[in-house]
Amino acid sequence: MSFLLPKATGESINLGIMGGTFDPIHIGHLVTAEEARQQFKLDHVIFMPAGTPPHKEQKYISPAEHRYIMTMLAVVDNPYFTVSRLEIENNQLSYTIDTVRRFFQIYKNGLNLYFITGADAILDIKTWKDYEELLEACSFIAASRPGYPFNKLKTIFGSAFAKIAKKIHFLEIPAMAISSTDIRRRIAEGKTIKYLTPEPVEQYIYKNKLYRQ
């Protein structure tokens, strides 16, 4: 899958996967992943940039290689973080459940898998493919994100909430109303993005003239 991933030794391992488009990656992602790593004693966090969906009508997403490289630049100084090419090498839409199944094939029974998301993503979970199987197979770590209150989950799931909530760990992170959408908009408007993303990512964006329009 990737030579950068931790080896499957048969011993128990706690892995976090952080999925996203990472167009571009920013400090909201990094703070969330680092907080999850420490609180849940994760051995590694694997960033999983999504493949570029082949649909023409899809809103524009930067080519997967750019997103992969920016993610790599952002995590390179953290010994616990790595990036997987699994989804970007699969040209079709990749579903989280397929990625999770693949990880269990590789790490077998010793795997404790945590899927790390922001609150917006967890509020959407009912729309994910085979979400019930997903909640059986792994735990979720859901990070707070301004504008997406967790208590909406109760309304979404109603009486099934208690069961669902057992597999979701709610993580309070320092409020960060930062998004890739905002970074892209700032670039297009000629505004600074300094400190919103690691400096090498910022330089990569300028060097490759990303998000100019």
CB-based burial label for 165 (10 Å; 0-12, 13-18, 19+)? middle
Cβ 36 to ligand ATP, closest distance in Å?
10
Q: Which residues, numbered 128-167, are part of the site for ligand ATP (CB under 6 A)?
A: 143, 145
> Helix, strand, or coil here: 63?
coil
Among 5, 15, 16, 22, binds ligand ATP (CB under 6 A): 22
The verdict on 121 binding ligand ATP (CB under 6 A) reads: yes
Tokens coding 162: 């208690």
The verdict on 20 binding ligand ATP (CB under 6 A) reads: yes
Cβ 209 to ligand ATP, closest distance in Å?
18
Spell out, one character per residue from 172 to 201, where the chain touches ligand ATP: x when CB under 6 A holds, - when not. ----x-xxxx--------------------
For the chain, the helix, strand and coil percentages under 3-state DSSP, each to the nearest 5: 40, 15, 45
Among 29, 37, 66, 85, binds ligand ATP (CB under 6 A): 29
The verdict on 96 binding ligand ATP (CB under 6 A) reads: no
**Dihedral sign (CA 60, 210, 83, 196):** negative
Cβ 88 to ligand ATP, closest distance in Å?
13
Alpha helices in the chain (DSSP H): 27-39, 64-75, 96-107, 119-122, 131-137, 152-157, 161-165, 180-188, 199-207
Binding site for ligand ATP (CB under 6 A): 20-23, 28-29, 32, 117-118, 120-121, 143, 145, 176, 178-181
